[in-house]
Amino acid sequence: MKTINIAIDGPSGAGKSSISKAVAEELGFIHVDTGAMYRAIGLYALRHDCISPEQMISHLPEIHIELKFIGGVQRVLLCGEDVTDYIRSPEVSMAASAVSAIPEVRAHLLDLQKKIASENNIIMDGRDIGTVILPSADLKIFLTASAEERASRRYLELREKPDCPSYEEILKDILQRDENDMHRETAPLRQAEDAVVIDSSDLGFHLVVETITRLIKEKLD
């Protein structure tokens, strides 16, 4: 059976995950958040003090990543442990960014990502989905927003929490992750030539969800 594959790429904090989730719900597709896989490996690196790429690579044979979908919602399992609730801290974000630059780590996740796409109708979000993982996706979206807008959205999300970082710290973190994701040698973040670019800096959440849902429906008609 031919499955429907939609690729959504873009920088950190552009809203890819929440928007992909809403679009997937609307269409009855599965939303696959590939960043969660890199985050799970980042968590592993922190727990096992894997500081150098060589250390990380030597641990890869022990690292088993699985995804489960409960009521359409993704859970990520690291060696059988559900780590979904432990992978959103700033430390794990930085560790995920670092491990995702290691080609062997990317290769470790490639088959799993392709397999899920070949078996399900999916909206898959990440950095290299349209360029590397699903080059023949039915539709590719590059979802972006200015770094300042992404930092201010993140700040609004976090500001009620204890130890909330300042806006300036969040912006610095976002700029650093953009730099890592765009300038690494393997599968850097870039727009696929045939991607539709959506800059959400001045667009509300619902408008972006509606626009992407419409683009997908038009493509499938």
User: With binding defined as CB under 6 A, does residue 39 bind ligand DC?
Assistant: yes
Phi–psi pair at 219, nearest 5 degrees: -65, -35
User: With binding defined as CB under 6 A, does residue 200 bind ligand DC?
Assistant: no
- Which distant-in-sequence residues (6+ apart) come within 8 Å of 198 by Cβ? 141, 142, 143, 144, 208, 211, 212
User: With binding defined as CB under 6 A, does residue 153 bind ligand DC?
Assistant: no
Using CB under 6 A, pick the residue from 150, 153, 154, 177 that binds ligand DC: 177
User: With binding defined as CB under 6 A, does residue 128 bind ligand DC?
Assistant: yes
The span from the CA of 27 to the CA of 59, in Å, is 38
Q: Report the half-sphere exposure of 96 (CA within 13 A, side-chain side).
A: 22
Nearer to ligand DC, 5 or 12 (CB): 12
| Helices 35-47/90-99 angle, 10° precision | 100
20: its two tokens: 């992909």
Least CB distance to ligand DC at residue 9 (A): 8
The span from the CA of 159 to the CA of 40, in Å, is 25
Using CB under 6 A, pick the residue from 20, 27, 30, 35 that binds ligand DC: 35
Least CB distance to ligand DC at residue 15 (A): 11
Least CB distance to ligand DC at residue 185 (A): 12
Please choose, out of 19-27, 92-100, 140-148, 162-170, the segment that lies near ligand DC by the rule CB under 6 A: 92-100
Residues that bind ligand DC (CB under 6 A): 12, 34-35, 38-39, 96-97, 100, 126-128, 177, 181
